[in-house]
Amino acid sequence: MDFKYDDDLQNIENEASRLAGQFDDDYWREHDEKHEFPWEFYNAFAEQGWIGVIVPEEYGGSGLGISHAAVLLNAVAHSAGVQNAASTLHLSIFGMGPVIHHGSEELKQRTLPATASGALHVSFGVTEDDAGTDTSRIRTFARRDGDHWVINGKKIWNTKAQQAQKILLLARTTPREECAKPLQGMTLFLADLDPNHCEIRPIDKCGRNAVNSNEVFIQDLPVSDDDVIGEVDKGFYYLLDGLNPERIVIASECCGIGRQAIDKAVHYAREREVFDRPIGMNQAIAHPLADAYSELEAADLLWQKAAWAYDTGEPCGPLANMAKLRASEASFKACDRAVQTFGGMGYAKECNVERYWRESRMSRIAPISNEMVLNFVSEHVLGLPRSY
Amino acid sequence: MKILVCLKQVPHQDARLDIKSDGSWIQEESIKFEINSYDTYALEEALRIKDEKEAEVVVASIGPDRTTQALRTALGMGADRAVHVNDESVEGSDALAIAKILAAIGKEESPDLVFTGLMADDGNFASVGPMVAELLEMPHATAVMSASLEGEKLIAERELEGGALEVVELQLPCLLAVQTGINQVRYASLKGIMAAKKKPLDTRSAADLGVQELVGTGAAKIKVQEIYVPPKTQGAEILEGSTTDVAEGLVAKIKELGLL
Ligand SMILES: Cc1cc2nc3c(=O)[nH]c(=O)nc-3n(C[C@H](O)[C@H](O)[C@H](O)COP(=O)(O)OP(=O)(O)OC[C@H]3O[C@@H](n4cnc5c(N)ncnc54)[C@H](O)[C@@H]3O)c2cc1C
């Protein structure tokens, strides 16, 4: 067994954290408060080629594995920007996965170089209000009209839609009732987020406010056959292969966030004196931090193993899911303990840990809720009967 | 032209430094390391010359296995080649011995220009650069704020006390010990990092360089006796009361101590 990062991974971690380290808590607090997209941060990473980490070399990327992307985003999340920083890059790095794996050669040539350089922003359009986690219930519909498609419907939670030129859109092309299986009959489009046909409304949300998530109302949006990813009616299955890598990377981000919170809390616990001694001398403060730290350490091993499994072609579904579960819980716990360690100041924006805490809440819900992860583990790992 | 950049890997600036129980040095086991901040500016100056004209940038460092990380980073940023002196017998060397090793590399490489940092963030000696210059019989400048090549000469600005600058002219080959903050240090791009692993990194021992007799604890003329954190002193007096009381008390104290 070898648990040491190789030179590439170590260099990626070092350089990514050096670059992310240029953007401090003040920068992120301000962007979070003003709901401003962190362009300086995004551009700094785009200029150094980080966005193209998994884009194949023939399209201008670096063609590296999920391990590399996960180490990159772990380092980015372990900075003052926590989830804001990770999400800023995450979607640009991962959003185009289905195009990389299932897009036509023409579509790849047309869109991947701009993805790798960071010039093309793509939002992800799967979730709908009335479908929820049951994706088979989506109602956004693509209707054939002569030589092209016309899409109508509504999506929700579309992250970065305000910056995106395109949206990776899952729409029904065959009604659910007419399909042999509920998850058939949906098609994945790389559609233009054309303001004449798409209205974007931001959702006022709990945290991670430098990166917007939106509702997108789609009316008569024309899409050509060239922008269909893979085959018609098989779109959901193309999303499936992106799910494991996404969970692995989300888990790595969670661990980074948790470590950032622990760093802050430990520093404060050593410095802050109450009753004539550092508060960290009280085991009631120290033990929960040690406990949270150990859980992060354990979760780190899970995502690292899952990334290794994915990159070496081993089955990784259970590992990826469990990594996401453990890491999101560990991250939230670490942030919560950080707030508690700061006492009253933990609740003040100027100390930043409340921002970490708000941001760490997200990954217990998205991109998949931890209840659904537990359903997966119960059914597919333990072999228990499906509950829903 | 050939440029040699000497760099040291030091504990990361955010690392928590705990002193070893025997007081000999800090605990290095679980902390992160990075390139000494002064040296990053030195490297950047060298890379800027390479951006302008045909130049080979060679980076050299002395240290254990982990030091390859620092050298790979430098290669990722754009250096062409690295020399790593990785040799246990070097441990315990004083600044002069370190300078002798670097000078031995300098003799092999015959660079036109040598860059070092003004000092290392950890040891704060600020003497290796000038010593290397002396051993190589090169002119040198310390606290360098800017460097520009003019034919066979190098014009450097040096930082003096009180913010003044001194402009000096040095004949090549020469050595410059660089101050921090003088440029915007570049980042290694992802492609640069991936390309770095294909660049040559030579590992050498003190014996390879013919300096085995001159280095290590045995040869050191300065031996570290102890490292310790000074205990907190009790001398502080805290003035309490209203703002006026405190201000009056402070003035009285200043008068009492004859500070005015
Ligand atoms: C900040 C943020 C960004 C997002 N970005 C995007 C994006 O870019 N693109 C996109 O398409 N989506 C995005 N999402 C949506 C996200 O993927 C969904 O919110 C998530 O999958 C949960 O779906 P839902 O909100 O419909 O919850 P629901 O499906 O309504 O679930 C509600 C609750 O019921 C539980 N539940 C439901 N069914 C079961 C069951 N069978 N067993 C046990 N518990 C169950 C769930 O676990 C959850 O706790 C984002 C969400 C957030 C919060």
Does A53 contact B193 at a Cβ distance shorter than 8 Å?
no
Q: Is-contact A260 A77, C-beta < 8 A?
A: yes
Q: Contacts from B130-137 at CB under 8 Å and sequence distance 24+? A: B130/B175, B130/B177, B131/B95, B131/B96, B131/B99, B131/B103, B132/B6, B132/B99, B132/B102, B132/B103, B132/B106, B132/B175, B133/B174, B133/B175, B135/B99, B135/B100, B135/B103, B135/B106, B136/B103, B136/B106, B136/B107, B136/B173, B136/B175
What is the structure's pLDDT at B30?
85
List, for residues B86-139, the tens digit of each pLDDT value.
999 999 999 999 999 999 999 999 999 999 999 999 999 999 999 999 999 999
| Shortest CA gap B147–chain A (Å) | 26
User: What is the per-residue DSSP string for A81-95?
Assistant: THHHHHHHHHHHHHT
A224 bridge partner residues:
A148
How many angstroms separate the CA atoms of B118 and A208, rounded? 42
Q: What class does CATH assign to A237-381?
A: mainly alpha
The confidence score (pLDDT) of residue A228 equals 98
Q: What residue spans in chain A does CATH classification 1.10.540.10 cover? A: 7-117
**Gap between the Cα atoms of B28 and B125, Å rounded:** 19
* Residue B59 backbone dihedrals phi, psi, to 5 degrees: -105, 140
User: What whole-number distance in Å separates Cα of residue B230 and Cα of residue B216?
Assistant: 28
Largest CA distance in chain B: 71
Write out the catalytic residue numbers of A: 246
- Average pLDDT (B149-153) is 93
- pLDDT tens string for chain A (388 positions)? 889 999 899 999 999 999 999 999 999 999 999 999 999 999 999 999 999 999 999 999 999 999 999 999 999 999 999 999 999 999 999 999 999 999 999 999 999 999 999 999 999 999 999 999 999 999 999 999 999 999 999 999 999 999 999 999 999 999 999 999 999 999 999 999 999 999 999 999 999 999 999 999 999 999 999 999 999 999 999 998 889 999 999 999 999 999 999 999 999 999 999 999 999 999 999 999 999 999 999 999 999 999 999 999 999 999 999 999 999 999 999 999 999 999 999 999 999 999 999 999 999 999 999 999 999 999 999 999 998 8
CA dist., res. B35 & res. A177, Å (int)? 63
Question: What is the rounded (10 degree) CA torsion for A217, A223, A228, A231?
Answer: 90
Candidates A282, A188, A301, A293; CA nearest to A235 is A188
Contacts of B34 in chain A (CB under 8 A): 14, 18
For chain B, what are the domain ranges? Answer: 2-219
Q: Are A380 and A318 in contact (CB under 8 A)?
A: yes
Q: Are B126 and B116 in contact (CB under 8 A)?
A: no
Number of CB atoms found within 10 A of residue A386's CB = 8
Interchain contact B179–A (C-beta under 8 A)? no
Among candidate residues A243, A264, A350, A367, the one with its CA nearest the CA of residue A306: A243
Q: For Cα atoms A43, A48, A49, give the angle at the middle one, nearest 5 degrees.
A: 95
| pLDDT band per the 50, 70, 90 thresholds, residue B163 | confident
**Residue A312's pLDDT is what?**
96
DSSP letter (8 states) at residue A380:
I
Predicted pLDDT of residue A7: 85
Contacts of B31 (CB under 8 A, 6+ apart): B11, B12, B15, B16, B17
| Closest approach of B188 to chain A, Cα-based (Å) | 7
Task: Say how far residue A154 (Cα) sits from the centre of its chain.
Answer: 21
> Rounded to an integer, what distance in angstroms lies between the CA atom of residue B249 and that of residue B237?
11
- Measured by CA distance, the residue closest to atom 19 of ligand 1 is A366
Where does the pLDDT of residue B234 fall: very low under 50, low under 70, confident under 90, or very high at 90 and above? confident
Q: What is the pLDDT of residue A73?
A: 98
Q: Which atom of ligand 1 is nearest to the CA of A125?
A: 11
**What is the location of CATH 1.20.140.10 in chain A?**
237-381
Give residue A134 CA to ligand 1 midpoint distance, Å: 9
Q: How far is CA A152 from CA A142, A164, A165, A192, A236, in A?
A: 7, 19, 18, 13, 18
- Phi then psi for residue A170, to 5 deg, are -95, 125
Assigned token pair, B122: 């950890």
For residue B235, pLDDT over 80 is answered with no
Average per-residue pLDDT for chain B: 94
- The pLDDT confidence band at residue B154, using thresholds 50, 70 and 90, is very high
Nearest CA owner, ligand 1 atom 41: A388
CATH architecture of the domain covering A7-117? Orthogonal Bundle (1.10)
Q: Provide the pLDDT for residue A234.
A: 97
Containing A339, the helix (H) or strand (E) segment is: helix A317-342
Q: Do A7 and B72 touch (CB under 8 A)?
A: yes
| Pick among A4, A13, A23, A48 to test the B interface (most B CBs inside 10 A) | A48
| Nearest atom (ligand 1) to Cα of A134 | 29
Q: Which residue has the tokens 């600044």?
A: B95
Nearest 5°: CA angle at A15, between A363 and A252? Answer: 20
Structure-block tokens of residue A53: 């980490």
- Helix (H) / strand (E) element for B109: namely helix B95-109
Identify the bridge partners of residue B175 per DSSP, sorted by sequence position: B114, B140
Tokens of residue A304, six digits: 């690292």
Determine whether the shortest distance from the Cβ of A374 to ligand 1 is under 6 A: no
CATH class of the A122-234 domain in this structure: mainly beta
Q: What is the pLDDT at residue B231?
A: 86
Quote ipTM for the complex: 0.89
**Delimiting residues of CATH 2.40.110.10 domain(s) in chain A:** 122-234
Cα–Cα distance, B171 to A129 (Å, whole number):
73
Q: Interior CA angle at B36 toward B33 and B42, to 5°?
A: 145
CATH code: domain B2-219 is: 3.40.50.620
> Cβ(A196) to ligand 1 under 6 A?
no
- Tell me the pTM: 0.92
pLDDT for B224: 87
Whether B86 contacts chain A with CB within 8 A: no
